[in-house]
Copies of this chain bind each other. A is one copy, B any other.
Amino acid sequence: MRIKFPVVAFFLEITIIILFGIFVKYDISDRGRNFPKESWLYPLFQDVHVMIFVGFGFLMTFLKKYGFSSVGINLLIAALGLQWGILLQGFWHMKYNEIHIGIESMITADFSVATVLISFGAVLGKTSPVQVLIMTILEITVFACNEHLVVNVLEVSILSDCWWYFPCYNNLKKNIFTGTLFLWLFWPSFNSAIAAAGEAQERAIMNTYFSLAACTMTVFASSILIEQKGKLDMVHIQNATLAGGVAVGSCADLNILPFGAMLIGSIAGIISVLGFKYLTPLFASKLNIQDTCGIHNLHGIPGILGGIASIIAAALQVNNNLSPGMQAAALACSITIALIGGAITGLILRLPFLGQPSDQNCYDDTVYWEVRLNYTGDSTELQNLQKAYSRGNIPSNR
């Protein structure tokens, strides 16, 4: 680790800086307009940015001994992913061998990072930092080829090695919803940020808002209904409440009317709860697929539901320019690329020199982090620590 990770990280960063130096320029097409694009796109970008770093980061902090890694590795993935995403997407839209970037590029770069973070949820606690760097590069490359977010999360099922892990909810009860709240709040921005400005964007905001609200209602109701003791399961509330945002994604900007969005959200909430209850144990016991965060239930199935909803919406002619056949083809294409891309990524990540952690080292911060001594405030101890530190001996709590 001590040599391998720095070598890979520095190599990637130097490569990226050189490629940026050769290709990337500021986009100046929007200059001089009365109502500049950045003035209204930048707040949307910031909402998406908060989702990526705070929302996804904290959604994965439920593992008692893996909090540092969840938030810290999330930051590492995002930092690498957004640079690589800018480059990859830029290569597809080059003009005169130059990549012109603006706020819109930053939004789409954050989108490609989201893909990787969703996958990271499935392998959380079971991957080394080097594997994470490789995974980021590979998945963003696949994503740039597909550019469909809907079902990309299917891709990660294959690569788990550790035993399936029972999520351990710890004493920090009040914090496990932090990530959920920030995702819930800003999902309307996420679904509308790349919609066409004006009417379509406003519809995307409202449809997502209503889909999430309806989804939350059905999740609370079905979580209590399904539990033997009639209690709320916090895994459902933490995750399935967001399924409405995923499911409405592919038709958020269409003219599906608020009640259509609420129907989609309601159904997504119910099937997501059912997935957590019945599908996750089945995957773990029958197929030996371990999905730490249950991303199949939050992103996979609701994503497919969204694809089906957009086919129905096209068939009902809610907007003029949509063909149900094209929607179905897009869905099929996304699933295919996700499965193939996921299989290849999984195979590459299993390469032995990438430092896959052994079973005992899974879900443990202390494998990768220097966790400091828990000093309690005694002043003798303080002076001893100071002496130790000034001699260069940094104490640790291991």
Q: Which A residues have a C-beta under 8 Å from some C-beta of B?
A: 1-3, 5-6, 9-10, 12-13, 16-18, 20-21, 24-26, 28, 31-32, 34-36, 38-40, 42-44, 46-47, 49-50, 53-54, 57-58, 61, 64-65, 67-68, 70-72, 75-76, 78-80, 82-83, 101-103, 106, 129, 163-178, 180-182, 184-186, 189, 197-199, 201-203, 205-206, 209-210, 212-214, 216-218, 220-222, 224-225, 227, 229-235, 237, 241, 255, 257-259, 262-263, 266, 281, 284-285, 359-360, 363-365, 368-377, 379, 382-383, 385-386, 389-390, 392
CA gap between A14 and B217 in the complex, in Å: 10
B370 touches A284 (CB 8 A): no
Residue of B nearest to A58 (CB): B174
| Given known contacts A43-B43, A218-B10, A371-B234, A25 and B266 CB-to-CB distance under 8 angstroms | no
CA gap between A375 and B262 in the complex, in Å: 37
B16 touches A262 (CB 8 A): yes
Chain B residues near A224 (CB-CB < 8 A): 1-2, 5-6, 129
A259 touches B21 (CB 8 A): yes
CA gap between A72 and B217 in the complex, in Å: 12
Tell me the interface secondary structure of chain A in the complex: helix
B24 touches A258 (CB 8 A): yes
Q: What 4 A-B pairs have minimum CB-CB distances, sorted nearest first? A: A2-B230, A67-B174, A168-B375, A285-B390
Closest beta carbon of chain B to A383's beta carbon, Å? 6
Given contacts A10-B218, A75-B180, 9 further A-B contacts (CB under 8 A): A2-B227, A10-B217, A46-B185, A76-B216, A82-B209, A106-B209, A166-B375, A168-B375, A234-B372
When the two chains form the complex, which single residue of B49, B64, B199, B370 contacts A227, counting CB atoms closer than 8 Å?
Answer: B370
B231 touches A369 (CB 8 A): yes
Chain B residues near A178 (CB-CB < 8 A): 54
Chain B residues near A220 (CB-CB < 8 A): 5, 9, 76, 129
| Given known contacts A173-B365, A382-B165, A389 and B281 CB-to-CB distance under 8 angstroms | yes
CA gap between A281 and B387 in the complex, in Å: 10
| Given known contacts A13-B217, A17-B266, A281-B390, A175 and B177 CB-to-CB distance under 8 angstroms | no
Chain B residues near A25 (CB-CB < 8 A): 257
A284 touches B202 (CB 8 A): no
Closest beta carbon of chain B to A112's beta carbon, Å? 13
